[in-house]
C-alpha cells in the first residue's frame, strides 16, 4: 500500500473558530476512515471544555492541550477567534513543544499562530485572501504584520516540509486530502475519498 504512517490528526478548536475551516479536514478524515478504520481524527481545545465556533455551534473536543495527544499532524483553523488565540500562551507553548515529527498545519487565519511564534520566518505561507466587508486588511496581508519575515504565497495549499498552510475558508478540504497524500496514501485512495465526498 505504500503508507508509512497512520494519520492521527488533531484539530484545535476555540471560541470563534470558523466552522468549515476545521470541519472540512475533519470530514475528509471521517470519510477516509470508512476505507481505513485506523485513521484517527479528533478535536482539541485549550481546556478540553466545549467551545462555541462561528454561527454559535457548540463543539465538544476529545482532548485538552494538557492531554498532549500523540499526533502525526496538528491543524489550527482560522476564524474571528484567532485574534485572541495568537495571544494564548498555552497554545503557543503547546505548538513550540510538539515533536518535530508532527506536521504543523493551518487553514485560513490559523497561519497567524505559527507566524507570531516565528515558525514562518523566511518561508512561504498563505492565509485567506479575501477580507470580510468590515476588515481594512485581508488576512493574507495581516499575516505579514504578525510574521514580517514570511514570504507571502497565494496558493491554496503551501507545503514547506513540516509546515503546511492552506488559504481560504474552504481550503480545509484540500488540506485534508493533501494530508492523506503526505501520510503516504496512494492517489487511488485519495481520489476514492474525494469521489465519495
pTM attached to this predicted model: 0.96
CA distance 36 to 32: 6
Q: Does residue 166 have a pLDDT over 60?
A: yes
**What are the φ and ψ backbone dihedral angles of 145, each rounded to 5 degrees?**
-70, -45
SS3 157: strand
Quick: pLDDT tens for 61-85. Answer: 999 999 999 999 999 999 999 999 9
Q: Does residue 17 have a pLDDT over 80?
A: yes
Q: Per the structure block, which three cell numbers stand in for 132?
A: 470580510
Evaluate whether 15 touches 101 at the Cβ level (below 8 Å): no
Quick: pLDDT tens for 122-152. Answer: 999 999 888 888 888 888 999 999 999 999 9
Amino acid at each position: 500500500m505504500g503508507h508509512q504512517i497512520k494519520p492521527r490528526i488533531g484539530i484545535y478548536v476555540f471560541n470563534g473558530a470558523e466552522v468549515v475551516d476545521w470541519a472540512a479536514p475533519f470530514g475528509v478524515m471521517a470519510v477516509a476512515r470508512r476505507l481505513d478504520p485506523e485513521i484517527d481524527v479528533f478535536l482539541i481545545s485549550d481546556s478540553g471544555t466545549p467551545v462555541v465556533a462561528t454561527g454559535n455551534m457548540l463543539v465538544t473536543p476529545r482532548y485538552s492541550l494538557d492531554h498532549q495527544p500523540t499526533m502525526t499532524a496538528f491543524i489550527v483553523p482560522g476564524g474571528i477567534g484567532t485574534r485572541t488565540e495568537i495571544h494564548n500562551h498555552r497554545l503557543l507553548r503547546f505548538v513550540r513543544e510538539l515533536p518535530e515529527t508532527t506536521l504543523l498545519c493551518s487553514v485560513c487565519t490559523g497561519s497567524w499562530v505559527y507566524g507570531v511564534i516565528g515558525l514562518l520566518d523566511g518561508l512561504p505561507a498563505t492565509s485567506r485572501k479575501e477580507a470580510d466587508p468590515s476588515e481594512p486588511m485581508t488576512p493574507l496581508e495581516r499575516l505579514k504584520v504578525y510574521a514580517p519575515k514570511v514570504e507571502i504565497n497565494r496558493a491554496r495549499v503551501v507545503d514547506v516540509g513540516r509546515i503546511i498552510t492552506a488559504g481560504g475558508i474552504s481550503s480545509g478540504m484540500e488540506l485534508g486530502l493533501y494530508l492523506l497524500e503526505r501520510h503516504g496514501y496512494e492517489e487511488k485512495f485519495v481520489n476514492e475519498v474525494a469521489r465519495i465526498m
